[in-house]
Amino acid sequence: MSRVVKLAVIPGDGIGPEVVAEAEKVLGAVTAGGGTRFEATHFSLGAARYLETGDTLTDADLAAIAEHDAILLGAVGGVPGDPRLAGANIERGLLLKLRFELDHYVNLRPSKLHPGSKSPLAEPGDIDFVVVREGTEGPYVGNGGAIRTGTPAEVANEVSVNTAFGVERVVRYAFELAQARRRALTLVHKTNVLVHAGSIWKRLVEEVGAEYPDVAVDYLHVDAATIFLVSDPSRFDVIVTDNLFGDILTDLAGAVTGGIGLAASGNINPEGAFPSMFEPVHGSAPDIAGQQKADPSAAIISVALMLEHLGMTDEAARVTRAVEEDVAARDGSPRTTSEIGDAIAARVQA
């Protein structure tokens, strides 16, 4: 019985293509034995495509991508300050558009301090938590506007939209995840200031939580959560939070664990109505692009998250283990992007 997974690959900009090449290499290695075969279609999207054609993500692109079983994305975003990109917003027009249109309401971001990986914290402890970041609401909806733009009388607003529909489903996902892990869930928000948005999150964590009596629930204001992420990160198991707080906390979480070079993420549509998308948390880093300096580990761990999502638990574990072994063996001597990919691919096949 041979299964075919149709994979949409969006290498993107900057270091995106380099790290994705290694991720595909490792994917090839872990599936070399047969069983499931990945059929990859590459989509040329990002700042480079925009500069060539003026398109960010056309309806045809979106429809074609949606036909796939999963998406692997490198990174998108041109050189900061590039005047030719001044009129474009690749992040909103491409990355966020994919997340919103494909209803990726769970943005899953695990943080783990692997043996051998370096934390900037003096006493990091055992770090192993997952941030479940809401992916389709909050301040990310783009419901903002400005009047008298460019004048001294300008007023610019942004609206954070939070629905019971949207909050309930991601909170439920987080409880399920916590139940399968160490049974501790922390809601992070700013309920004392963002009263209305905060209330709906609190209410739904309470209501859904009543169905998961074995999960211990905790609450932290976002400001306090940043303190604990550096002073006591091992206290966390599953964190559930809104789109913007999740963005901030997961970069910080990446920094306190092995660095952003190891932070992977899944943009998940749990029902499978749309393909889920897997990507490193890091950006396109145009300053080091094309120099084989980027660490492809986060892209490779994203492949593990994808395999897990596709039910290929063994393959996922092999990739994760290979990365962990590679990290543990690092001695600081420099390797190129593809040398790291080769090493991990070799470990996968060993």
Active site residues: 140, 190, 223, 247, 251
The span of 21-29, 89-97, 291-299, 304-312 binding ligand IPM (CB under 6 A) equals 89-97
Residue 318 known to bind ligand: no
CA distance 288 to 18: 11
- In one letter, which amino acid is 345? A
Encoded amino acid at 94, one letter: L
Residues 69-88 that bind its own copies (CB under 8 A): 77, 80
| Rounded Cα distance, 236 and 222, in Å | 14
As given in the structure block, the two tokens for residue 4 are 């075919």
C-beta of 29 vs 188, nearer to ligand IPM: 188
Amino acid identity of 344? I
User: Interaction with its own copies in 92-151: which residues (CB under 8 A)?
Assistant: 92, 96, 119-123, 139-140, 142, 144-146, 148-151
Question: Which of 250/269 has CB closer to its own copies?
Answer: 250
Contact present, 111 and 129 (Cβ < 8 Å): yes
Compute the Cα dihedral for 30, 33, 37, 40 and give only its sign: positive
Structure tokens at 287: 């300053």
| CB of 144 or CB of 272, closer to its own copies | 144
Is 291 marked as binding a ligand?
yes
Q: Choose the stretch contacting its own copies; rule: CB under 8 A; options: 98-106, 174-182, 247-255, 316-324.
A: 247-255
Neighbours of 278 (CB within 10 A): 27
Q: Cβ distance 130 to 181 under 8 Å?
A: yes
Is residue 286 part of an annotated ligand binding site?
yes
Instruction: Name every residue whose Cβ is closer than 8 Å to that of residue 218 and which is 6 or more positions away in sequence.
Output: 184, 185, 186, 187
Determine whether the annotation assigns residue 128 to a binding site: no
Binding site residues, ligand IPM, CB under 6 A: 91, 95-96, 192-193, 223, 247, 281
Binding site residues, its own copies, CB under 8 A: 77, 80, 89, 91-92, 96, 119-123, 139-140, 142, 144-146, 148-165, 168, 190, 192-197, 199-200, 203, 219, 222-224, 226-227, 230-231, 244, 247-248, 250-252, 254-256, 259-260
Binding residues for Mg(2+): 223, 247, 251
